[in-house]
């Protein structure tokens, strides 16, 4: 990591773009609110997981060691209801969705976290019980009707993250649900009295089960300690989940909980909120089964700034397929160098391009500018290949190495599940465009250009055939 070129990132707590400085110089401790495992995650969830993965990869690219913890919420109102309806134990029911999460996240190239605590693992239940005891001792929690509630009047900073208004509500209005609106900010449940048949754990303050908010505080404090660097989630988690995490953690420890809060905006589908009733609710698996490549899906999810809503459209997916295909076509022609160690370009143009790439991402993760550098490098490499003289050989290799380096952050090129070069309507259009361009080149007697076009297409599995009636194309087997 370079002190001279620090990352500047918006901190939801201050509402400002700030210099990101981890507490320890070379290490970033990062907590990601993971999936509530009552259903298979949808592509909206994965917009947030890919956004967080991009941030983690960029920190690693800059040289930080990142320690990432991502939980699974395997006990809350929704998981209990789901398991009950399915007639399964909570453990069996939630384990299925955890496995599906890993399958989808792996398909999308999301780097694995270092720890995946499950809220119901005995060590974390024990940590939650300790946290509640501490809050009771400090007068920041109280018991009522067999449950334990957090007293928001005991935490004057309540509302700092989300702007939740608490005036007039400090006199013990209570809420038992895991999810509720800002308008109903109230004392929230830490430990719930359970009903018959619900999973229950013993505790000195009465048998029951944890509330959702308590779980993340306990797991994060247990694995990362107070004052860790980065806490991430989708914007919907700011209130009440993250607001409550801060309140109960800080009230219990007396120390700042998190240095930097990172929130990803939502994904919409064709401009509308994703919902089962609108029929626009997709999982990663469903899209892959339809023939969408996971690389194109990842590209689409990663290519929109994390603070902008991402409008997921079929058209966007097609453009993503084309973009990934173009870069893969080049990389297929330029084998990876076998040199080990970090890539240090000799060419000043390549160095400048990588510098601009880093600057773009240092600027609150400006992915559009960063991707523009990938495509700049692509053009340089393709031009070098088309010139085909020996002098350009080294240049092409360096531009390709630069693309591979930038791809450490984006993780979309040369991945398994790359677009099939022989599918897609836009590909037909694109090939026809190349055929026209090649015909024009031949008319100009620019045979080098014409040959380069033929070769580029061949590298993508497309063969051109010249016939007396013009040029046709076919897929190579």
User: What is the four-CA torsion angle of 279, 285, 288, 293, rounded to 10 degrees?
Assistant: 110
| CA dist list (Å): 445 to 250, 251, 431, 438, 451 | 74, 77, 21, 10, 11
Minimum distance from CB of 304 to ligand AMP (Å)?
A: 11
**Rounded distance between C-alpha atoms, residue 211 and residue 219, angstroms:** 13
Alpha carbon dihedral 450, 452, 457, 460, in 10-degree steps, equals 180
Tell me: does residue 33 bind Zn ion (CB under 5 A). Answer: yes
Q: Do 256 and 250 contact (CB within 8 A), yes or no?
A: yes
173-212 footprint of Zn ion as x/- string (CB under 5 A) = ----------------------------------------
Which partner, ligand AMP, Zn ion, none, binds residue 216 by CB below 5 to 8 Å per kind?
A: Zn ion
Show the site string, 417-456: x = touches ligand AMP by CB under 6 A, - = not.
----------------------------------------
Q: Tell me the Cα Rg of the chain.
A: 26
CA dihedral sign of residues 19, 22, 26, 27? negative
Residue 380 binding: pick among ligand AMP, Zn ion, none (C-beta 5-8 Å cut-off by kind): none
Nearer to ligand AMP, 22 or 234 (CB): 234
Burial (CB count within 10 angstroms: exposed 0-12, middle 13-18, buried 19+), residue 150: buried
- What are the tokens at 395? 């240049």
Is there a contact between 251 and 9 (Cβ–Cβ < 8 Å)? no
Spatial CB neighbours of 83, under 8 Å, sequence gap ≥ 6: 89, 90, 92, 93, 94
Site track 213-242 with ligand AMP (rule: CB under 6 A), x = hit = --------------------xx-xx-----
Q: Which does 327 bind (CB under 5 to 8 A by kind): Zn ion, ligand AMP, none?
A: none
Closest CB to ligand AMP among residues 64, 282: 282
Question: CA dist 298 to 46, 216, 288, 413, Å?
Answer: 9, 27, 11, 10
Indicate the residue whose CB is closest to ligand AMP.
Answer: 234
CB of 250 to ligand AMP, least distance (A): 21
Binding range to ligand AMP, per CB under 6 A, among 33-41, 248-256, 275-283, 438-446: 33-41
Decide whether 240 or 325 has the Cβ nearer to Zn ion: 240
Q: Does 198 bind ligand AMP (CB under 6 A)?
A: no
User: What x/- string results for residues 256 through 285 when contact with ligand AMP is judged by CB under 6 A?
Assistant: --------x-xx------x-----------
Q: Please give the residue ranges that form the binding site for ligand AMP (CB under 6 A).
A: 33, 35-36, 44-45, 47-48, 233-234, 236-237, 264, 266-267, 274
Q: Please give the residue ranges that form the binding site for Zn ion (CB under 5 A).
A: 33, 216
């Amino acid at each position: 990591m370079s002190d001279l070129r620090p990352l500047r990132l918006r901190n939801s707590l201050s509402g400002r773009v700030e210099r990101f400085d981890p507490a320890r110089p070379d290490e970033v401790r990062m907590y990601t609110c993971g999936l509530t495992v009552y259903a298979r995650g949808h592509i909206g969830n994965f917009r947030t997981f890919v956004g967080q993965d991009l941030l983690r990869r960029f920190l690693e690219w800059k040289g930080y060691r990142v320690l990432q913890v991502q939980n699974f919420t395997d006990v809350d109102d929704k998981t209990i209801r789901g398991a009950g309806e399915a007639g399964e134990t909570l453990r069996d029911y939630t384990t299925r969705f955890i496995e599906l999460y890993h399958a989808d996240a792996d398909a999308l190239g999301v780097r694995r976290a270092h720890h995946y605590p499950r809220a119901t693992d005995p060590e974390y239940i024990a940590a939650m019980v300790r946290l509640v005891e501490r809050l009771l001792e400090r007068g920041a929690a109280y018991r009522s009707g067999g449950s334990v509630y957090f007293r928001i009047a005991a935490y004057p900073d309540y509302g700092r993250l989300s702007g939740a208004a608490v005036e007039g509500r400090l006199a013990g209005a209570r809420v038992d649900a895991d999810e509720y609106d800002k308008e109903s900010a109230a004392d929230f449940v830490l430990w719930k009295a359970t009903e018959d048949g619900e999973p229950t754990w013993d505790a000195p303050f009465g048998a029951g089960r944890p509330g959702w908010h308590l779980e993340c505080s306990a797991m994060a404090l247990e694995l990362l300690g107070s004052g860790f660097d980065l806490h991430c989630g989708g914007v919907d988690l700011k209130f009440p989940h993250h607001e409550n995490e801060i309140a109960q953690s800080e009230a219990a420890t007396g120390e700042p909980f998190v240095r930097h809060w990172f929130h990803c905006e939502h994904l919409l589908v064709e401009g509308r909120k994703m919902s089962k009733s609108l029929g626009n609710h997709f999982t990663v698996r469903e899209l892959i089964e339809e023939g969408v490549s996971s690389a194109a899906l990842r590209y689409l999810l990663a290519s929109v700034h994390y603070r902008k809503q991402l409008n997921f459209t079929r058209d966007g997916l097609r453009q993503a397929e084309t973009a990934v295909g173009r870069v893969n076509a080049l990389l297929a022609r330029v084998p990876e160098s076998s040199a080990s160690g970090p890539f240090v370009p000799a060419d000043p143009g390549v160095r400048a391009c990588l510098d601009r790439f880093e600057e773009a991402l240092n600027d609150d993760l400006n992915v559009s500018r960063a991707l523009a550098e990938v495509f700049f490098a692509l053009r340089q490499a393709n031009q070098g290949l088309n010139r085909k003289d020996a002098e350009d050989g080294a240049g092409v290799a360096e531009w390709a190495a630069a693309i591979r380096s930038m791809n450490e952050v984006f993780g979309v090129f040369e991945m398994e599940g790359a677009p099939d070069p022989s599918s897609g309507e836009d590909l037909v259009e694109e090939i026809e465009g190349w055929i026209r361009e090649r015909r024009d080149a031949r008319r100009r007697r620019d045979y080098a250009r014409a040959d380069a076009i033929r070769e580029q297409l061949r590298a993508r599995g497309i063969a051109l055939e010249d016939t007396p009636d013009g040029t046709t194309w076919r897929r190579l087997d």
